[in-house]
Structure 1
Amino acid sequence: MPENPISSNEGSQPDLDQELEAAVSLYEAGDEAGARLSFEKLAELGSAPAMTWLGYILYFGRGVAADKAEAHRWYSKAAVAGHAEAQHGLAALLDEAGDREEAERWVRKAADQGYQPSVSWVSEADAYKMLKDKRFDEALPVLRSAAEAGSAWAHEVLGWMCWTASGVRRDYGQAIEHYRTAYDGGRDIVARDIGRLHLNSGHPEIALEWLRKGIRKPISSLYWQYAVIKRHPHLARHPDELDVLLKQAAAAGHAFARRDLALRMMKGHRQFGTRLQGLCAWFGLFPYILRLVRNDENDERLK
């Protein structure tokens, strides 16, 4: 997403700089309509930072109806004028629209000017390509550099590498540390993985705490909560929690949960259904046999 642009531009005229500062002050004071009028006036006079602000305001609909076409127009003008923040914003718009090649061209222009969000974007994109090709040795220094610069995504990937021994020695402690940093940086998607790592490390109580935070991976988080309580019944918050979690995970479509539910019914656990219903549920799992054979306990696909 485009960020709130920096409101300075080296080489712009002093009087325009003063008017730009006044427009930014209006925006920050909550007068978005007044700020927009000022930005429009300055943009018509050729101020690239003002164009960038207009792109931002129109993209997010700040005090005006969102208009991505107009945002694109203003971002493009400022980007062509060499404004790094606008180049980054334009790249984000293009990426969202599916034009990856053009997005990469513009974000690299911004990165070449040292604009840090673009530098991080380029580093992450390069690392991702290396990871896809399993060039872990090449990706590692890029990821470490990005992590040191504050990339939560890079910490997430480093956590995965430490967990799976992909290009580095397996180290659950390091994996948890990277995942925690990623979580603190906004990558709440890793909560489930932190939970699983704590489970592997012999800390089921902490594992369950993290799995309950796993709202971004709800299907497998439900399944893993069930799996932890099944192994450690004393951790259940109420007597029926194990059964409730199993039903929820199965209803969400987790193949392993559906398997366990079918087996429970066939074994005569009538709170889940009859033996006949269990048998039908068991045969109903055949379309998902590949998922079961692959042992994908983190499957997030619905049914």
Structure 2
Amino acid sequence: MSLRFTGTLVLSFMCLAAPEVASAQVQTFTATHTYILGDHDSKDDARQRCLLETKRKILEQAGVYIESASEVKDLQLTKDKITSFAAAVMQVKDTKEEVSFQQGHMTMTLALKADVDLAEVRKQLAARQLDAGMRDDVAAQQERLKRLEVQLDAMQQQMHQAPGYVPASPSSDMSAADLQMLRTQAAEGNAMAQGELGYRYDAGIGVLKDYVLAREWYEKAAAQGHATAQFNLGGLYYYGYGAPLDNGKARQWWERAAAQDHVNAQIKLGWLYFLGVGAHQDYAIARQWWERAAAQGDPEAQSILGSLYSLGQGVPQNYAKSRQWYEKAANQGDRSAQVMLGWLYYNGRGVQQDYAIARQWYGKAAAQGDDSAQNRLGVMYDNGEGVPQDYTKARQWYEQAAAQGLAEAQYNLGVLYDFGRGVKEDHAKARIWYEKAAAQGHTHAMFFLGSIYKQGRYGVPQDYTKAREWFEKGAAYGDPWAQIELGALYFNGEGVPKDDTIGRQWYEKAAAQGSQEAQGRLGWLYYKGWGVPKDYVRASMWFSVEAANPKGDLQKLAVMNRDMSDSYMTPAQIAESRRLAQECQARQFKGC
């Protein structure tokens, strides 16, 4: 979809004045910006730069924040976008300019006062498109997280479903005579009868549920080599039903059943070795058990193998092999495999990118009620990917997934209500959906709610304490924008005691995840000496790191800021800053 993750772009940290209320739809805002002129800058250059930055800051106060799609995409407004956006929504009322000299350099400070039409802001936001480069970065994160979610879902389904098996012809209304005959056969040593009687006590079919009796009858049948009884007995030990919880004994019984090609036992064993539960962790052995189950045509094992090759977990990452295994499972109706096969075609992994085929596989899974597939179809209609853009259809798919409790769909549905896409614009409903998603740990929803309370939008009063609470939740989950905004609260003393050290630490956490915004902010901290000793070498280092990620005007600004820092340094210091930047990138921004 077009808008899914919000964040604000701030290149310097001047205090912003509170807005003056002009009318219900038009408000007056003020902002200031200070620019240090370089050797080749004219006053007019500085004036234009200050004017651009003050307009951007006023837009920020008016709610022009950055938003992303499914799963996290960040928008950086370019110079042209800022100019065109301001022209559409802003009327300048007054400017004040002051020129001074600091440390031998001319500086210009410009204060801007302007009226902003908030209704027009909302319309303009709805019409804007996301920056493609940033979209790709966050989309890659979402893709990795989604694949991990699928893997974890499979783990939960396999490791936490109730034990037991379904006999070929189970009878819940077995007559007393038939039940007595079953008991007689079991007492005479018939392994099939013992296994079925154990299952009936296990599941409470025709008899009162009794795990102890179930275990006793399973043990008799298992001792005679009855594979299903061995599997079910392992389940009782694994869950501690009618027996002490013992993962080691569970593994032993499942191994006996698996040796007889009991598919479910092979799958369970694979998970034990994969997770290191009741056995030493060994991806190779796990894969071998899953391969044996897959060789028998089991779609679940085939889907698991597809995930292994997609993730490169215990095997070299190989999307082609992943696709082959997913196809085997998907053709048998395994909806998880259908979703992941759709994902491969959607992203062009191991196959040529093909939205039409992706939609077909998502559609098959969605028809089986898969909430992830329903959400992904919503995203395709939202973005017009392989289909004509249709917000109404997007909403319908989001609603189906959201009704099943999928946080991503709840968030996406909130965005539609937020911007009036396929529905009447309704900020109250948007906030409700954001809250539902945030309650399930959706970090972008947490960040967005924090922004709402920070700015006092959508019918809620400005509340820095609540903003901090939401930013803290998002930051704890590792959301870089929440970390940045939390850091800003500490720098400004909003909702928390002012603490530059804590603020810097949150910026560093976001920067360590590759956030250009945080890296640029750290550069400014060292350049200005805000909360840290002034250090042009480290300032230049952070600006160099920021500039290494090519993102249009943001990269240009980073280069300009780096060059500005360099102007205060010796050639040796410049070389040192470049060395530190290279080391930082080599460490993937950790410990810089």
1:21 to 192, 196, 199: 196
Aligned partner of 2:182 in structure 1 is none
| 1:142–1:90 CA distance, 2 compared to 1 (3 A) | farther
Q: How far did residue 227 of structure 1 move? A: 3.5
Cα distance in 2 for partners of 1:123, 1:20 equals: 35
Q: For the residues of structure 1 that align with 2:229 and 2:399, how far apart are their CA atoms?
A: 38
TM-score (norm 1): 0.71
Match of 2:459 among 222, 232, 235: 235
For each residue in 1:148-205, what CA deviation from the matched residue of structure 2 results, as whole angstroms up to 9, or x when unmatched?
A: 2233333233334334444444443333433333344454454333323432333322
> Are 1:110 and 2:298 an aligned pair?
yes
Contact 1:7/1:20 (CA < 8 Å) preserved in 2? no
Tell me the secondary structure at the aligned position of residue 217 of structure 1. coil
The alignment status of 1:191 with 2:379, answered yes or no, reads no
Larger Rg: 2
TM-fit CA distance, 1:35: 0.8
**1:247 and 2:471 are equivalent in the alignment:** no
- The code of the aligned residue for 1:249 comes to W
**SS of 2:298 mapped into structure 1:** helix
Aligned to 1:42: 221
Is this contact kept in 2: 1:219–1:249, CA < 8 A? no
> Aligned to 1:213, what secondary structure does the other structure show?
helix
**Cα 1:128–1:262 shift into 2, 3 Å:** closer
What residue number does 1:147 align with?
Answer: 366
- Structure 2: tracts of 5 or more residues without a match: 1-156, 170-184, 277-282, 302-327, 518-548, 552-592
User: Equivalents in 2 of 1:217, 1:278: separation in Å?
Assistant: 28
- Hey, what does 1:119 align to over in structure 2? 334
Relative to structure 1, is the Cα distance of residues 284 and 76 closer, same or farther in structure 2, using a 3 angstrom cutoff? Answer: closer
How far apart, CA to CA, are the structure 2 residues paired with 1:130 and 1:66?
A: 43
Secondary structure of 1:235 counterpart? coil
Percent same amino acid at aligned positions?
Answer: 18
**Structure 1 match to 2:393:** 174
Which has the larger displacement, 190-199 or 24-33? Answer: 190-199
Q: Equivalent residue for 2:587?
A: none
Tell me which residue corresponds to 1:256. 481
Q: What secondary structure is seen at the aligned counterpart in 2 of 1:8?
A: coil
* Equivalent residues in 2 for 1:262-273, closer than 5 Å: 271-273=495-497
Aligned residues: 287
2:355/2:386 contact within 8 Å kept: yes
Displacement after TM superposition at 1:121 (Å): 4.2
Which range moved further: 34-43 or 192-201?
A: 192-201
CA contact (8 A) 1:255 1:291 kept: yes
Inter-partner Cα distance in structure 1 for 2:509 and 2:445 = 23
Q: Which residue of 1 aligns with 2:165?
A: 6
SS of 2:166 mapped into structure 1: coil
Residue 281 (structure 1) shift: 3.3
1:248 shift after superposition? 1.6
Q: 1:59 aligns with which of 238, 245, 248?
A: 238
On the 8 A contact 2:487/2:507 being kept in 1, the answer is no
What secondary structure sits across from 1:64 in the alignment?
coil
Query: How has the CA–CA distance of structure 1 residues 126 and 205 changed in structure 2, closer, same or farther, with 3 Å as cutoff?
Result: same
Look up the match of 1:285.
507
2:457 and 2:433 map into 1 onto residues whose CA distance is: 17
- The aligned residue for residue 89 of structure 1 is 268
- The CA distance in 1 between the partners of 2:405 and 2:480, in whole Å, is 29
> CA offset at residue 65 of structure 1?
3.6
Q: Distance in 2 between matches of 1:229 and 1:61?
A: 47
- Identify the residue that residue 298 of structure 1 maps to in structure 2: none
Aligned-partner Cα distance in 2 for 1:255–1:115: 37
Distance 1:49 1:172, change over 3 A: farther
User: TM-score, normalised to structure 2's length?
Assistant: 0.40
Q: Are the counterparts in 1 of residues 234 and 250 from structure 2 also a CA contact under 8 Å?
A: yes
Q: Which amino acid aligns with 2:368?
A: A
Question: Match of 2:434?
Answer: 211
The offset of 1:45, in angstroms, is: 2.1
CA RMSD of aligned residues (A): 4.2
Q: After the TM superposition, which of the residue ranges 91-100 and 208-217 deviates more from structure 2?
A: 91-100
Q: C-alpha deviations, 1:217-274, integer Å up to 9, x for none?
A: 25432221233456774633xx46x3233212333425434555666777x7765555
Alpha-carbon deviation of 1:139?
Answer: 3.0
Partner of 2:11: none
Conservation of the 8 A alpha-carbon contact between 2:191 and 2:221? yes
Report the secondary structure of 1:62's partner residue: coil
1:193 aligned counterpart, secondary structure: helix
For the 8 Å contact 1:120–1:151, the answer to whether it is kept is yes
Does 2:158 align with 1:158? no
Distance of aligned partners of 1:59 and 1:196 in 2 relative to their CA distance in 1, 3 Å threshold: farther
Contact 1:51 1:75 in 2 (8 A): yes
Please say if 1:72 is aligned against 2:251: yes
CA distance in 2, matches of 1:166, 1:104: 35
User: Does the 8 A contact of 1:92 with 1:103 survive in 2?
Assistant: no
| Contiguous gaps of at least 5 residues in structure 1 | 296-303
Which residue type is aligned with residue 225 of structure 1? L
What SS does the aligned partner of 1:63 have? coil
Q: Distance in 2 between matches of 1:152 and 1:270?
A: 39
| Match status 1:31 vs 2:210 | yes
Give, in angstroms, the shift of residue 59 of structure 1.
Answer: 2.8
Structure (1 or 2) with the greater strand fraction: 2
Structure 1: how far apart are the matches of 2:510 and 2:272? 38
Change over 3 Å in CA distance of 1:280–1:111 after alignment to 2: closer
Q: Distance in 2 between matches of 1:183 and 1:176?
A: 10
What is residue 446 of structure 2 aligned with on the other side? 222
